Each structure stands twice: as structure tokens, then as C-alpha cells.
Amino acid sequence: MRKVKVYITLKEGVLDPQGKAVQNSLESLEFNNVHDVRVGKYMELMVEDTENIEAEVDRMCDKLLANPVIEDYTYKIEEVV
């Protein structure tokens, strides 16, 4: 088994209203040193180890986990002990 950690973020240039709301809330709490906030998603998948695990994870992200039009994704694959 492998643990796949998937990180999904909005592409550069895509407006992030949730990030802006978090930034405004931080400022209202007097955390004035925060200049930008981008909100993303994090997922952990437990998958069977296969020869083409990277290709499978790419297909999962492209077809379901991320919206490739407005989101980028990265992932890390770890061995489960």
C-alpha cells in the first residue's frame, strides 16, 4: 500500500474569495503581517502499489479530484509501513 498526499491549489491569477475572506479576518484580529492568503484542498489516499501509480494518480486528479481549468495539483507518494 502507498499513501498519496494530494495538494490542490487555485492557479495563479484565479480569484480566491475564500482566501480573501480569511485574510480580512486575520487583519481584523490584528494579524497585519499577512499580505496574501490562498485556500486549497488536501487529500490523503491509500492506494495499492502498482507499476504506474503516478499515472493513476494523475488520472484521478484530472478526472475528479481537481478542476484542471482553474486548479493545479501536486502529490507525494509514500510507502506505508
CA-to-CA dists, residue 74 to 14, 21, 28, 33, 67, angstroms: 17, 25, 32, 28, 13
Closest CA to 4 of 53, 52, 64: 53
The tens place of each residue's pLDDT in the chain, 81 residues long, gives 999 999 999 999 999 999 999 999 999 999 999 999 999 999 999 999 999 999 999 999 999 999 999 999 999 999 998
Instruction: Report the predicted TM-score, pTM, of the whole model to 2 decimal places.
Output: 0.86
CA neighbor of 68 nearest in space, from 8, 16, 6, 18 = 8
Q: List, in order of start, the domains of the chain with CATH numbers.
A: 2-79 (3.30.1280.10)
